[in-house]
């Protein structure tokens, strides 16, 4: 068995960017029709790792829900703390939610953090912008805070993504006890919000004049959205937790209403109906939904070719099923759904694409792990008779 990472390490020593591309291309054609992979634990011992972003081929930044930041050496697994992060409200579902690098990070070292901000009786999702310098965050500035504030430590949203035009997207949850606010375009709860990198509302948002809705609102009718991604065609995909059942995957349109709580495929935790409607005029239906709930925790669109059969697939990590769903999309519809990485028997908080197309799983626990997934490349042809496939 030839380890993919050893090949990359050798090429790094050689220093050939073109060679890297050639070997990745060769590996793609060496793989069988169904992806085979091997895994290793990069590092562990993190209290609920929620988000990770690569700053170069060998280094990643990791954010945990308890409000810590770490620099990770992917090869050795060594990690060092990053100081200077903003204070966060760590309670129930509150803490650091998402870490996003500026599109020009290599030049400006700027990053964005979505987090829960107190006090407990008036907490909210907020975005901070900062500069990374010498292992610390500097110039830490809050650029946005969701309004109104709430007194519940749940359903924050808090996922970030850059849109194709350079504007910044943020998911906002309904606060659990404030579900009706999701249907109010003047409230920022239960929404996808769109803004400029400085925190001001995007000029072409659907309610920018403020007459029929909040200037930041891009879409509404969401419950607890924890997945957000923009595909190569510039389409915005998101998923959200339903109540008991009715987790949804949605394709987001500007100004569109996605139903919660007027429509839902789920029921209350008590077993009572929330609404008799699963659809209604003027409400965009989900692309797909899951009943019973899978608890979708993160959305990633695979853009690399290291696993060629996975290219352009949507990856949804789950907290109930303890796996990752791979969704194949054709003409804005789901044509197949595969289950991956169930063998780890872990709540998976996020799935992250690495610089060379590797995958990294973040497990959701007090002893959270970073697990690397790379192709299994077999140097013994006889092994092809019994290839190991994901469960």
**Per-position DSSP letters for 289-326, written without gaps between them:** EESS---EEEEEE---SSSGGGTT-EEEEESSS-SEEE
Complete domains list, the chain, with CATH = 2-380 (2.120.10.30)
Q: Region 156-174: what's the mean pLDDT?
A: 98
**What is the model's pLDDT at position 6?**
54
CA 86, chain centre distance (Å): 21
Nearest 10 degrees: CA dihedral of 208, 210, 216, 221? -110
- Of 34 and 187, more confident: 187
239 is catalytic: no
pLDDT at residue 68 greater than cutoff 70: yes
pLDDT at residue 358 greater than cutoff 80: yes
pLDDT band at 237; cut points 50, 70, 90: very high
Residue 153 has which token pair? Answer: 């430590």
pLDDT band at 387; cut points 50, 70, 90: very low
Percent of the chain with pLDDT over 70: 88
Q: State the Cα–Cα distance between residues 176 and 184, nearest whole angstrom.
A: 15
Q: State the Cα–Cα distance between residues 97 and 331, nearest whole angstrom.
A: 31
CB 192 within 8 A of CB 236: yes
- By DSSP bridging, strand 348-353 and strand 333-340 are unpaired
Choosing from 79, 155, 239, 298, which is the catalytic residue?
155
């Amino acid at each position: 068995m030839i380890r993919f990472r050893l090949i990359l390490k050798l090429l790094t020593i050689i220093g050939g960017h073109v060679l890297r591309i050639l070997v990745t291309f060769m590996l793609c054609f060496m793989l069988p029709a169904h992806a085979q992979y091997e895994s290793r634990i990069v590092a562990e011992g993190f209290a609920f790792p929620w988000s990770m972003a690569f700053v170069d081929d060998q280094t990643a930044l990791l954010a945990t829900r308890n409000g810590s930041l770490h620099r990770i050496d992917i090869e050795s697994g060594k990690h060092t703390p990053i100081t200077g992060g903003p204070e966060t409200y760590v309670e129930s579902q509150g803490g650091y939610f998402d870490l996003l690098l500026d599109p020009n990070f290599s030049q400006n070292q700027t990053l964005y953090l979505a987090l829960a901000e107190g006090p407990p009786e008036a907490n909210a999702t907020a975005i901070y912008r900062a500069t990374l310098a010498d292992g610390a965050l500097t110039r830490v500035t809050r650029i946005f805070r969701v309004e109104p504030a709430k007194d519940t430590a749940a359903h924050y949203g808090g996922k970030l993504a850059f849109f194709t035009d350079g504007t910044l997207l943020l998911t906002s949850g309904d606060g659990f006890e404030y579900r009706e606010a999701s249907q109010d375009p003047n409230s920022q709860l239960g929404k996808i919000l769109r803004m400029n990198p400085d925190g001001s509302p995007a000029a072409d948002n659907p309610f920018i004049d403020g007459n029929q809705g909040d200037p930041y609102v891009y879409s509404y009718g969401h419950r607890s959205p924890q997945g957000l991604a923009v595909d190569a065609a510039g389409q915005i995909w998101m998923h959200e937790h339903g109540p008991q059942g009715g987790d949804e995957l949605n394709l987001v349109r500007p100004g569109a209403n996605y139903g919660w709580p007027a429509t839902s495929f789920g029921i209350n935790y008590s077993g009572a109906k929330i609404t008799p409607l699963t659809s209604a005029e003027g409400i965009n239906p989900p692309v797909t939904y899951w009943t019973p709930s899978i608890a979708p925790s993160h959305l990633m669109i695979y853009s690399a070719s290291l696993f060629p059969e996975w290219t352009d697939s949507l990856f949804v990590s789950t907290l109930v099923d303890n796996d990752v769903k791979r969704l194949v999309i054709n003409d804005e519809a789901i044509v197949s759904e595969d289950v991956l990485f169930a063998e780890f028997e872990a709540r998976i908080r996020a799935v992250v694409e690495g610089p060379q197309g590797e995958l990294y799983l973040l497990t959701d626990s007090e002893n959270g792990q970073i697990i690397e997934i790379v192709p299994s490349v077999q140097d013994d042809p006889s092994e092809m008779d019994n290839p190991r496939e994901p469960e």
